[in-house]
Amino acid sequence: MTSIFEPVTVRGTRVRNRAWLAPLCQYSVDARDGVPTDWHLVHLGARATGGFGLVMTEATAVTPEGRITPHDTGLWNDAQATAWERITGFLASQGAIPAVQLAHAGRKASTTRPWRGGVPVDPDAGGWTPLAPSPSPYPGLTSPIAMTQAAIDATVRAFAAAASRAVDAGFEVVEVHAAHGYLLHEFLSPLSNGRTDSYGGSFRNRARLLIEVVDAVRAAIPDIRPLFVRLSATDWVDGGWTLDDTVALSALLADHGVDLVDLSSGGNDPGQRIPVGPGYQVPFARAVRAETGLRTAAVGLITEPSQAQAILDEGAADAVLLGRAALREPTWPVRAAHELGLPVPDAPYPVQYLRGAYRS
């Protein structure tokens, strides 16, 4: 069997293949209540019927103030969890593993949707003051409030409560979002963390909040459920977070019950200079996997089936996450099966679609 279609088992969860849907923000909760809608059912459901092995939600906020925009999904209350049940049930019925990415946007919160400019939301229009490790704003966005110890403790509890709701709602994998300049990444990076208490300064202090969140989430979900963490492997800015930091942190996360790290990069400073190109972030997944032994997932301009299979065959990652390619082509795994020579009976077709199967 081609490597991309080999199943992988993580703790008690067996994923049918290694082509996974990356978390892709949809900004489509028009009621501003964090409750997922028919859009989310169709968006995620189409990728499940399209053959993806694991289907991950967008960044789903653990608190109202943790949303990037007022239109983000959430898991801070039971009404949201109930709405997610219909979606996870459908994903599972199609053979996909439902996964949730839990997030807090930190200083990048309270913005308009990207197609509305991604600018701060006016307080009269429902905006709020963001929370962050330090009061310095992300350029162009609202100045945040530096978090008190009480706010930090409440955030840790919020991640744990959201994780518990996620499992009750049918999610089989939980991912903690610690990348792209959002709250947990803000604490990790010296570019955004100017604290002088036990959450700032040294590497271990800056990693403290993420470790507390991971410990709380791990304790809140069953031992058989996998726990992932998404990291920005580098800030792409001198003096910022580095790949060496990511390798050291990944080893620490493994000791705290994390099963896989999902390696992206950037997002914390507009001064970043990213050499974008096909598979440009794959070396991060390769380095962490080689140096720590922890499972990794690669992401970033992975577009073609042969490219994805080569990443897996060379041992750079245990799975590939597709983002923009999956937006363009919800049935990407089906095409991959055809191009890589997988027989139709083994390809991830819903039975309803077999009449349209690729034939050689």
Judge whether 138 counts as a catalytic residue: no
Here the tokens at position 218 are 């791990």
Residue in 27, 182, 199, 349 annotated catalytic: 182
Asked if 10 and 262 touch (Cβ cutoff 8 Å), the reply is no
Which DSSP state fits 302? -
Determine the number of helices (DSSP H) and then strands (DSSP E) in the chain: 10, 12
Q: How far is CA 255 from the centre of its chain?
A: 20
Strands 8-10 and 13-15: antiparallel
Which tokens is 130 given? 């963001």
Q: Could you please report the per-residue DSSP string of 102-116? A: EE--GGG-SB--GGG
Could you give the CA distance from residue 278 to residue 303 in angstroms, rounded to a whole number?
A: 8
Element (H, E) at 83: helix 78-93
Strand spans (E) along the chain: 8-10, 13-15, 19-21, 54-61, 97-103, 131-132, 145-146, 173-178, 227-232, 260-264, 295-299, 319-322
- So which residues are the catalytic ones? 182
